[in-house]
Amino acid sequence: MMSIDEAVATRRSVRGYLPDEVPQDRLRELLALAQLSPSNCNIQPWITHVLSGPSLRSLGDKMVAAAEAGIPPDPDFPADRKFEGIYRARQIDAAVQLYGAMGIDRHDRPRRDWAYRRNLDFFGAPHAALIFLHHTFEEREAVDLGIYAQTLMLLLTSRGISSCAQGALGLYPGIIRDHLGLTQTHRLIFGISFGYEDPAVEANRARAGRAGVEDAVVFHRDAARA
Ligand SMILES: Cc1cc2nc3c(=O)[nH]c(=O)nc-3n(C[C@H](O)[C@H](O)[C@H](O)COP(=O)(O)O)c2cc1C
């Protein structure tokens, strides 16, 4: 079994998968462990729907068809924020890494659109976890979803299962709700595609960088600021 350090250091977003499914009992074991994630007042606000097989593929087909038909996305949470300053620089760096690995020029709009649309078919993954938030909840509970998601992704990593968190899966929540028989009470921020990495997929050669601790963390020790 991997150490927590190894799981954190080796987890990365994988955007191309082999068709092999994760055994159902393993999946249940990891989802049960992820239930131990902490949450504000222990309300455990995540509502997770795991899709596999024909259910997953037909949902992917519906979302890709919507995008190709030019149907505008209608996300439950705003997804069109423009980043600025260092955040924009980090976004560009990640895009350069990803599109570079795929041999796509960052300014080649048609091929970038094609690459982005792969999100909607779960990058060919055999499974996806769609993580919903009850409509009465806001940012505080969304934090809990993030913690839960990272717990799940680290557990997957520790068992050799790759994943990719995808805000893009929240672009067509209406299609997803119809597919799953859910109502507007379930709001979708993101999902996680997961399965076994296909090492032949070019996108999987991308490696995203990180800011150093000195750029992200401020240490305080003095009793009062001067
Ligand atoms: C909440 C969230 C949403 C994300 N949405 C997407 C997405 O829609 N498509 C995608 O390809 N990657 C998505 N990512 C993956 C990030 O791009 C990735 O985590 C980041 O570039 C760092 O790379 P790494 O995960 O390989 O370390 C998302 C990650 C998070 C945490």
Tell me the β-bridge partners of 214: none
Beta carbons within 8 Å of 25's beta carbon, 6+ residues apart = none
Residue nearest (by alpha carbon) to ligand 1 atom 23 = 208
Q: Where are the domains of the chain?
A: 4-206
First and final CA of the chain: distance in angstroms? Answer: 48
User: Which atom of ligand 1 sits closest to the CA of residue 94?
Assistant: 21
User: Which atom of ligand 1 sits closest to the CA of residue 206?
Assistant: 26
Ligand 1: residues with CB < 6 A are 12-13, 15, 94, 119, 164-168, 190, 208
Tell me the β-bridge partners of 186: 134
155, HSE (Cβ side, Cα atoms, 13 Å): 19
Q: What is the pLDDT along the chain (226 residues), one digit of tens a residue?
A: 899 999 999 999 999 999 999 999 999 999 999 999 999 999 999 999 999 999 999 999 999 999 999 999 999 999 889 999 999 999 999 999 999 999 999 789 999 999 999 999 999 999 999 999 999 999 999 999 999 999 999 999 999 999 999 999 999 999 999 999 999 999 999 999 999 999 999 999 999 999 999 999 999 999 887 6
In contact, 56 and 127? CB cutoff 8 Å: yes
Pick the CATH number of 4-206 from 3.40.109.10, 3.40.50.150, 2.40.50.140, 1.20.1730.10: 3.40.109.10
